[in-house]
């Protein structure tokens, strides 16, 4: 296995107008590592994931994915991100005019991969038989599961998940977390999962807390 970090954050700062959200944040994520990030509402967790996903740029500092700095507005960088990343957003971003099967097939199509895995992935999140449904026919939790299937279907190297179980009941949460973890481990992928849920965080290899000082690991003794 390669020792090159999958993700390297060096001295990242980000403000919105006069509000400093992230300041001098550094972190390195190893290949195959699955971490959970917890922290108070508004502390900058989604902001951090958005920066890693290239949806926004830091004011200063450097983000390297697979040892490369990826400019936000750059076609080659977009293609690499599309292949390399699987992103489960806090708001689902499921495309309303596409069926569930088409939504989940999209990352495969865009990456020129076989579409075979799409129906299997929908079945894995418990939506077998709903392939031809449209997003408006689904509950919030079902939509969340479509978003999860879509984020995992192309076996990304780095999975970024923002409250992936925020809309799910406890049993479904448990199943989905198990699925996310087994996908990560089967594909030797890395993942960052942002969550307020202890149950979700404890499926990760490590738990980090984000506050104004940066990312701090919670030691195992403090884990309940
Ligand atoms: N596009 C934006 N424009 C202005 N302010 C923003 C923007 N995005 C985020 N913020 C502000 O940055 C801070 C961090 O927001 P962020 O969404 O990263 O928090 P969070 O840790 O994900 O919170 P939550 O747990 O509630 O999801 C908040 O004060 C928020 O209001
Ligand atoms: Mg958030």
**Which one is the CATH code of 7-218: 3.20.20.300, 3.30.200.20, 3.65.10.10, 3.40.50.300?**
3.40.50.300
CA distance 151 to 87: 5
Of all protein residues, the one whose alpha carbon is nearest to atom 10 of ligand 1 is 16
Measured CA to CA in angstroms, residue 171 lies from 141, 167, 178, 200 at distances of 12, 12, 11, 12
The atom number, within ligand 1, closest to the CA of 90 reads 27
- Per-residue pLDDT, 12: 96
CA distance 210 to 99: 37
Q: How many CB atoms lie within 10 A of CB 169?
A: 9
- Distance CA(192)–CA(170), nearest Å, equals 21
CA of 158 to the centre of ligand 2 (A): 19
Atom 31 in ligand 1: residue holding the nearest Cα? 42
Residue of minimum CA distance from atom 8 in ligand 1: 47
Ligand number, closest to the Cα atom of 48:
1
| Span 3-62, pLDDT tens digits | 789 999 999 999 999 899 999 999 999 999 999 999 999 999 999 999 999 989 999 999
- Tokens representing 28? 């390195």
Q: Parallel, antiparallel, or unpaired: how do β-strands 34-38 and 60-65 relate?
A: unpaired
Nearest CA owner, ligand 1 atom 24: 41
- Backbone region of residue 88 per phi and psi (left: phi > 0; alpha: psi in -120 to 50; beta: other values): beta
pLDDT in 10s for each residue of the chain, 224 residues: 557 899 999 999 999 998 999 999 999 999 999 999 999 999 999 999 999 999 899 999 999 998 888 887 888 888 889 999 999 987 778 999 999 999 999 999 999 999 999 999 999 999 999 999 999 999 888 998 999 999 999 999 999 999 998 888 898 899 889 989 999 999 999 999 999 999 899 999 999 999 988 999 997 555 54
* Ligand 1 probe mutation, 16, 37, 194, most atoms within 8 A of CB: 16
């Amino acid at each position: 296995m390669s020792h090159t970090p999958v993700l390297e954050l060096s001295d990242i700062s980000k403000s919105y107008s006069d509000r400093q959200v992230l300041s001098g944040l550094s972190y390195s994520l190893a290949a195959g590592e699955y971490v959970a990030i917890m922290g108070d509402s508004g502390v900058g967790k989604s902001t951090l994931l958005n920066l890693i996903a290239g949806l926004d740029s830091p004011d200063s500092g450097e983000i390297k994915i697979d040892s490369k700095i990826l400019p936000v507005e750059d076609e080659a960088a977009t293609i690499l991100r599309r292949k390399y990343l699987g992103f489960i957003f806090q708001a689902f971003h499921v495309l309303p005019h596409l069926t569930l099967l088409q939504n989940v097939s999209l990352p495969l199509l865009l990456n020129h991969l076989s579409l075979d895995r799409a129906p299997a992935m929908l079945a894995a999140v418990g939506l077998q038989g709903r392939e031809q449904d449209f997003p408006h026919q689904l509950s919030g939790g079902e939509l969340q599961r479509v978003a999860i299937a879509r984020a995992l279907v192309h076996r990304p190297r780095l999975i970024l998940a923002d409250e992936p179980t925020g809309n799910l009941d406890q049993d479904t949460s448990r199943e989905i977390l198990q699925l996310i973890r087994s996908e990560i481990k089967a594909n030797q992928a890395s993942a960052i999962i942002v969550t307020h849920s202890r149950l979700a965080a404890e499926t990760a290899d490590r738990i980090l807390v984000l506050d104004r000082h940066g990312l701090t690991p919670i030691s195992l003794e403090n884990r309940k």
